[in-house]
Amino acid sequence: MSTDRKGERVIHIESTFDVSGANRDTEMFAEFIARDAPRSFLDVGTGTGYLAIRLALAGSDVAATDICHRAKALAERNARRNGIYLSVRISDLFDDEAGTYDAIAFNPPCSARPDPRFLTVVKEAIRRIEPLERALMHHMPKHVITFRRDLIHRFIEGGSCHLNPEGRLYLLLYGHELSFLEAMPHDLVVTAHTPHALRRRNLAFARLSRRPDRPSNG
């Protein structure tokens, strides 16, 4: 087991060209969720498996899904590299999901299937300079905006049926998506978190929890 300078366990993640890698955003997202210390955690769209692995190491009882078979194989391999057993279920969001959880997270993709041209542009932007990446995110194509909005809506609708009473949904979003999240028809309270490092890149975390029960009138 290796640790970093702060004495925290280092997670070893292999990524592939067609499965989104775990970057600093993912690490910060994992830390954000881990702070709430959920007893049970569902990682929807696990990708490399980073969130599931991080939460399992923090002591959560973890389940993970992905729509992509290559992501499933990669996440399971990454979990083994870090000494964790993870069986990723192939699922479109909450299809066939039977469990309930304290925390359910999703970092939505920009397209249904990885589009090699889009991935190339994004990876190049990230590799090169931050302003280029920011410009790309601010000029997101309309079909990407619509695709993500529908997926996020389905995640909230499905996810709210699989939360424990005190459970929460977590999303990693682009900043401009917070306003439509609040306008969406759902019964959850949205709390936005935009640490400085994320705001500069037009990214935000959202935590959605049930409204506290209103006092009954007797």
Ligand X SMILES: C[S@@+](CC[C@H](N)C(=O)[O-])C[C@H]1O[C@@H](n2cnc3c(N)ncnc32)[C@H](O)[C@@H]1O
51 makes contact with ligand X (CB under 6 A): yes
Tokens of 135: 């410009």
92 makes contact with ligand X (CB under 6 A): yes
Nearer to ligand X, 68 or 203 (CB): 68
Which among 42-50, 123-131, 181-189, 193-201 is the span making contact with ligand X, rule CB under 6 A? 42-50
56 makes contact with ligand X (CB under 6 A): no
Phi, psi of 52 (to 5 degrees): -60, -45
107 makes contact with ligand X (CB under 6 A): yes
Of 120, 155, 154, 118, which Cα lies nearest the Cα of 139? 118
Of 42, 89, 40, 86, which Cα lies nearest the Cα of 66? 89
Q: How far is the C-alpha of 40 from the C-alpha of 46, rounded, in Å?
A: 15
Cβ contacts of 187 within 8 Å, gap of 6 or more: 160, 210, 211
Pick from 11, 20, 82, 148: which binds ligand X (CB under 6 A)? Answer: 20
Pick from 38, 46, 72, 198: which binds ligand X (CB under 6 A)? Answer: 46
Residue ranges in contact with ligand X by CB under 6 A = 19-20, 22, 26, 44-48, 50-51, 65-68, 71, 91-93, 107, 109
